[in-house]
Amino acid sequence: VSLLGDGVTEVIYSSVRFPFPLCDRDYVFYRRLVRRQGGGFMVARSARKGLVAEVEGVVRVDNFESHFAVVPRGDGKGLDYFLEYFEEPKGALPAWAVNFGMDALVTGMVKGLKHGA
């Protein structure tokens, strides 16, 4: 959900539901998409605290940063994308939970880029 945007930088609120016994997590972050001839990149980082009210029972991830680039392949048959991602999840999470969250995040970002193209 885009809360506000000026066409260049948006503020995004996103939530991820986890199965019991893990706590759901949410994110408030700035996102900037830059299009370049033949590709583009996206930069996202945590927004300042207090921009969006916290939800009771949901862990707010407030230390987050991501870089995402899309580059067409030289043969003209598709594209390559690169992702660098960091977050402090506030607590010990098992590997399966991290993988679940990352899969949902990357899938959502790729769908968003496809929709915006």
Per-residue pLDDT of 83-95, as tens digits, reads 888 888 777 767 7
> What DSSP assignment string belongs to 32-46?
EEEEETTEEEEEEEE
Report residue 97's pLDDT band, with 50, 70 and 90 as the boundaries. Answer: confident
Q: What is the mean pLDDT of residues 55-81?
A: 85
Quote the CA–CA distance of 93 and 97 in Å, as a whole number: 6
pLDDT 10s digits, 24-61 = 888 999 988 877 777 777 888 898 888 888 889 888 88
- pTM above threshold 0.85: no
Give strand pairing partners of 4. Answer: 11
Query: Does 1 have pLDDT greater than 50?
Result: no
Averaged pLDDT of the chain: 78
Location of structure tokens 């994110």: 27
> What DSSP assignment string belongs to the chain?
-EEEE-SSEEEEEEEE---TTSPPEEEEEEEEEEEETTEEEEEEEEPPTTSSPPPTT-EEE-SEEEEEEEEE-TTSS-EEEEEEEEE--SS---HHHHHHHHHHHHHHHHHHHHHH-
